[in-house]
């Protein structure tokens, strides 16, 4: 292990700022703010002053009121562990460099965000209180687009909507792969978190090509082919020469990524989306075993989602409309409601992309296999207009939709949800044990099991969306305990998360072993010796 213990954060009252309005606003977000460790009020004020000199007064936020938007989160945080001390929003790489210089000088930790819409994992909030949000939303230029190669180079503030609009406005023959709630999400942020989407370009990190990283000391690193004099290969070839570095800047706190390249999918002549309905909870095993060979031989070219009924229903329904009890909703009610809406207990979404001829050649093979496994294969013909089918039809062609935001309102308007996504091999035998475990733990805390499984390639992501009532202290506390127990129990069985909310980053990191932590600690020391970039991110101090 490295010599760095996790930082203890001191809880203090709101610090002074020229902009503070005085009276506290009546919102749960307006509790005490946190100062960074090792910084007293005077030092913090001095640092803020220097930051104002860099970006201008309008772009430093250092009082409770102006930081409200940065403190907004859907995950539970009953102990106030994720409250930023403020935020600063630079407009350029040069300003990022200057900010990091100040951060080093004052040992002021900076939590970089792109647009801060990491919905199920903590939005813009830092891994520990007191960090200042480094908000990159103003750096929002599409810097380069290559029409022949279908590649794009963007800044962190660029959303998927921006790219979608750019493509539409210029009538380009490409699709951008989007994650859920794509319109408001940053392409850079999602890719750095190794988020995924729904088209054949759904593994965003794999489709990423070249980045610019600002290190803690201001060094600007262009990865891959980015530093070749007169080179034009930065977005064409991923690996470069020598150690391939991009990976260490994903799910990481080793640098601030200020530019990122991405490949776009050529728009196919024909696009045909499918859903396969399965009636029973245990059918997820059969679905998985049917999907795996098609992902491996690429007959199905996109990541396949196996959506649980409750996950689907919660997009458009509030809990109160389905049940008037506080306890978990019984499967029978969910099943009946699903059937009423044209859904199975599991709904498998995939698509074919090509010409009429290539799809005609492929479809019967896939259809036959799903039908043999007990699934009901449906297309636009039968499902046209079904809101869930339309939703996935939109996603699988890289379309814009915000509908999954509905999930956070399951328990009411306050909103509350946190995601847990353990990974397993893509085998049916890995599914029902997970489902039973998650269901048992969640129901013991009074929550509903809202699942999806995703078969990206040879791996299976189990996406468990824990919905709770953010307005209730009790519900929030139960959600925290439930999540901790799930992570622990799943981990003990070999199922560890590929990603984590800010509140469980360290817990998950422990499951990846001491050698991994030790190497990360050494890399952190080498690249950010003062630990000013996002301490605690993914459990790295």
Footprint (CB under 8 A) of a copy of itself, residues 96-115: none
CB within 8 Å of 347: residues ≥ 6 apart: 275, 276, 277, 278, 306, 307, 309, 312, 388
CB atoms under 10 Å from CB of 142, counted, come to: 15
Distance (Å, rounded) from C-alpha 235 to C-alpha 358?
29
Determine which residue in the list 170, 298, 321, 384 makes contact with a copy of itself, applying CB under 8 A: 298
Distance (Å, rounded) from C-alpha 504 to C-alpha 488?
10
3-class SS of residue 288: helix
The dihedral over CA atoms of 196, 200, 204, 207, expressed in degrees to the nearest 10, equals 170
Determine which residue in the list 37, 279, 523, 530 makes contact with a copy of itself, applying CB under 8 A: 523
Distance (Å, rounded) from C-alpha 365 to C-alpha 297?
12
Per CB under 8 A, does 425 bind a copy of itself?
Answer: yes
Distance (Å, rounded) from C-alpha 61 to C-alpha 19?
9
CB within 8 Å of 166: residues ≥ 6 apart: 142, 145, 172
Q: Indicate the residue among 227 and 472 with the shorter CB distance to a copy of itself.
A: 227
Determine which residue in the list 170, 355, 384, 444 makes contact with a copy of itself, applying CB under 8 A: 355
Per CB under 8 A, does 494 bind a copy of itself?
Answer: yes
Decide if 33 contacts 67 (C-beta within 8 A): yes
As separate numbers, helices (DSSP H) first and strands (DSSP E) second, the chain gives: 16, 20
Decide if 34 contacts 10 (C-beta within 8 A): yes
Site for a copy of itself in 129-158 (CB under 8 A): 146, 148-151
Site for a copy of itself in 158-197 (CB under 8 A): 194
Site for a copy of itself in 261-290 (CB under 8 A): 263, 266, 268
Reference 61, options 109, 102, 17, 101; nearest CA is 17
CB of 480 to a copy of itself, least distance (A): 20
Determine which residue in the list 287, 423, 466, 487 makes contact with a copy of itself, applying CB under 8 A: 423
Reference 280, options 316, 332, 349; nearest CA is 332
Size of the site for a copy of itself (CB under 8 A): 95
Selecting among 7, 71, 478, 499, the annotated active-site residue is 499
Site for a copy of itself in 35-64 (CB under 8 A): none
Site for a copy of itself in 7-36 (CB under 8 A): none
What is the dihedral sign for C-alpha 51, 52, 53, 59? positive
CB of 285 to a copy of itself, least distance (A): 13
Q: Indicate the residue among 17 and 538 with the shorter CB distance to a copy of itself.
A: 538
Q: Name the strands in the sheet holding 220-222, side by side, starting at the edge strand that comes first in the sequence.
A: 142-146, 151-154, 256-263, 208-214, 220-222
Q: Indicate the residue among 371 and 382 with the shorter CB distance to a copy of itself.
A: 371
Distance (Å, rounded) from C-alpha 306 to C-alpha 284?
7
3-class SS of residue 492: helix
Distance (Å, rounded) from C-alpha 289 to C-alpha 176?
29
Site for a copy of itself in 299-328 (CB under 8 A): 299, 301
Determine which residue in the list 520, 531, 533, 534 makes contact with a copy of itself, applying CB under 8 A: 520
Q: Indicate the residue among 67 and 97 with the shorter CB distance to a copy of itself.
A: 97
Q: In this structure, what token pair is assigned to residue 99?
A: 């900010």
Per CB under 8 A, does 249 bind a copy of itself?
Answer: yes
CB of 34 to a copy of itself, least distance (A): 24
Determine which residue in the list 56, 247, 368, 387 makes contact with a copy of itself, applying CB under 8 A: 247
Distance (Å, rounded) from C-alpha 300 to C-alpha 276?
13
Determine which residue in the list 168, 169, 171, 229 makes contact with a copy of itself, applying CB under 8 A: 229
Q: Which residues of 95-132 are buried (b: 16+ CB within 10 A; e: fewer)?
A: bbbbbbebbbebebbbbbbbbbbbbbbbbbbbbbbbbb
Q: Where are the alpha helices (DSSP H) in 140-235?
A: 160-169, 187-192, 204-207
121 is catalytic: yes
Q: Indicate the residue among 30 and 251 with the shorter CB distance to a copy of itself.
A: 251
Decide if 424 contacts 462 (C-beta within 8 A): yes
Q: In this structure, what token pair is assigned to residue 534?
A: 């996002």
Distance (Å, rounded) from C-alpha 16 to C-alpha 64?
10
CB atoms under 10 Å from CB of 6, counted, come to: 12
Give me the half-sphere count of Cα atoms (radius 13 Å) on the Cβ side of residue 48. Answer: 27
CB of 41 to a copy of itself, least distance (A): 34
Q: Indicate the residue among 163 and 313 with the shorter CB distance to a copy of itself.
A: 163
Segment interacting with a copy of itself, rule: CB under 8 A, options 112-120, 126-134, 228-236, 304-312: 228-236
Per CB under 8 A, does 475 bind a copy of itself?
Answer: no
Site for a copy of itself in 324-343 (CB under 8 A): none
Determine which residue in the list 3, 242, 325, 340 makes contact with a copy of itself, applying CB under 8 A: 242
CB of 219 to a copy of itself, least distance (A): 6
Segment interacting with a copy of itself, rule: CB under 8 A, options 5-13, 355-363, 411-419, 473-481: 355-363
Per CB under 8 A, does 449 bind a copy of itself?
Answer: no
Distance (Å, rounded) from C-alpha 371 to C-alpha 379?
14
498 is catalytic: yes
Determine which residue in the list 365, 372, 402, 413 makes contact with a copy of itself, applying CB under 8 A: 365
CB of 394 to a copy of itself, least distance (A): 21
Q: Where is 258: in which H helix or E strand?
A: strand 256-263
Determine which residue in the list 4, 21, 94, 232 makes contact with a copy of itself, applying CB under 8 A: 232
Segment interacting with a copy of itself, rule: CB under 8 A, options 120-128, 157-165, 246-254, 388-396: 246-254
Selecting among 70, 106, 121, 349, the annotated active-site residue is 121
Q: Indicate the residue among 285 and 467 with the shorter CB distance to a copy of itself.
A: 285
Per CB under 8 A, does 84 bind a copy of itself?
Answer: no
Active-site positions read 121, 498-499
């Amino acid at each position: 292990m490295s010599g760095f213990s996790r930082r203890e954060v001191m809880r203090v009252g709101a610090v002074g700022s020229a902009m503070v309005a005085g009276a506290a606003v009546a919102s749960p977000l307006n509790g005490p703010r946190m100062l960074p460790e090792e910084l007293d009020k005077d030092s913090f004020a001095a640092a803020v002053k220097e930051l104002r000199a860099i970006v201008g007064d309008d772009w430093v936020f250092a009082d409770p009121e102006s930081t409200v938007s940065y403190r907004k989160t859907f995950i539970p945080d009953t102990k106030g562990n994720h409250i930023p001390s403020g935020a600063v929003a630079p407009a350029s790489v040069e300003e990022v460099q200057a900010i990091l210089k100040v951060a080093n000088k004052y040992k002021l930790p900076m939590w970089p965000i792109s647009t801060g819409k990491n919905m199920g994992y903590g939005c813009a909030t830092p891994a520990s209180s007191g960090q200042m949000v480094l908000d990159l939303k103003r750096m929002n230029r599409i810097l380069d687009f290559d029409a022949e190669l279908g590649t794009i180079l963007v800044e962190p503030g660029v959303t998927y909507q921006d790219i979608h609009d750019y493509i539409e406005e210029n009538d380009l023959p490409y699709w951008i792969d989007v994650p859920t709630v794509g319109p408001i999400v940053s392409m850079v942020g999602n890719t750095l978190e190794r988020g995924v989407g729904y088209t054949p370009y759904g593994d965003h990190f794999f489709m990423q090509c070249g980045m610019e990283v600002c290190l803690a000391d201001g060094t600007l690193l262009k990865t891959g082919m980015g530093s070749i004099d007169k080179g034009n290969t930065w977005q064409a070839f991923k690996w470069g020469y020598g150690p391939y570095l991009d990976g260490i800047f994903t799910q990481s706190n080793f640098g601030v990524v200020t530019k990122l390249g991405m490949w776009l999918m050529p728009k196919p002549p024909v696009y045909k989306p499918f859903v396969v309905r399965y009636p029973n909870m245990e059918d997820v095993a059969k679905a998985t075993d049917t999907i795996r060979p098609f992902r491996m031989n690429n007959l199905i070219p996109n990541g396949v989602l196996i959506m649980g009924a409750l996950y689907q229903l919660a997009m458009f329904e509030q809990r109160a409309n389905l049940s008037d009890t506080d306890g978990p909703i019984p499967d029978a009610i969910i099943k009946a409601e699903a059937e009423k809406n044209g859904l199975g207990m599991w709904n498998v979404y995939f698509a074919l992309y090509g010409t009429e001829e290539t799809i005609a050649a492929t479809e019967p093979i896939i259809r036959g296999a799903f039908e043999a496994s007990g699934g009901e294969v449906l297309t636009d013909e039968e499902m046209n207009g079904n809101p869930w089918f339309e939703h996935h039809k939109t996603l699988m062609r890289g379309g814009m939709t915000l509908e999954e935001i509905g999930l956070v309102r399951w328990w009411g308007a306050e909103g509350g949800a946190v995601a847990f996504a353990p990974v397993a091999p893509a085998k049916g035998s890995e599914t029902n044990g997970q489902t039973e475990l998650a269901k048992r733990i969640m129901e013991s805390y009074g929550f509903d099991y809202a699942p999806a499984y995703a078969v990206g390639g040879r791996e299976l992501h189990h996406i468990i969306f824990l919905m709770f009532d953010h307005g209730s202290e009790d519900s929030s506390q139960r959600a925290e305990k439930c999540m901790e127990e799930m992570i622990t129990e799943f981990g003990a069985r070999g199922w560890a998360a590929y990603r984590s909310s800010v509140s469980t980053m360290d817990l998950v990191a422990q499951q990846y072993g001491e050698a991994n932590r030790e190497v990360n600690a050494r890399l952190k020391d080498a690249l950010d010796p003062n630990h000013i970039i996002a301490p605690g991110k993914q459990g790295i101090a």
